[in-house]
């Protein structure tokens, strides 16, 4: 079992946005931002904002998947495995 860092890094923008919402508005605001980041629906004003979800979650995840595939194609992950690095992959 390995952890693809490029894909995991795709969750960082959404996680930082949710953390900021928690600091500003508490638990309820953080839950609203989970909905906003995951689906694009803003429960605060009842409006769908699909580009927000793409910018904060789906875009970075897609970019991370492309970087991971490129690292596999270039053999970077194979080099990391041969170097003895146990669970981390690009």
DSSP string, 16-42: HHHHHHHHHHHHHHHHHHHHHHHHSEE
Task: Provide the pLDDT for residue 86.
Answer: 87
Residues of the chain with pLDDT below 50 are none
Give this prediction's pTM. Answer: 0.87
């Amino acid at each position: 079992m390995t952890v693809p860092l490029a894909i995991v890094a795709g969750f960082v923008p959404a996680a930082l946005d949710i953390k900021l919402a928690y600091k500003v508005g508490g638990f309820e605001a953080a839950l609203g931002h989970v909905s906003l980041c995951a689906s694009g629906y803003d429960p605060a004003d009842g409006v769908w904002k699909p580009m927000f979800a793409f910018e904060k979650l789906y875009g970075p995840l897609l970019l991370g998947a492309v970087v991971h595939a490129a690292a596999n194609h270039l053999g970077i992950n194979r080099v990391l495995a041969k170097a003895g690095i146990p669970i981390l992959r690009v």
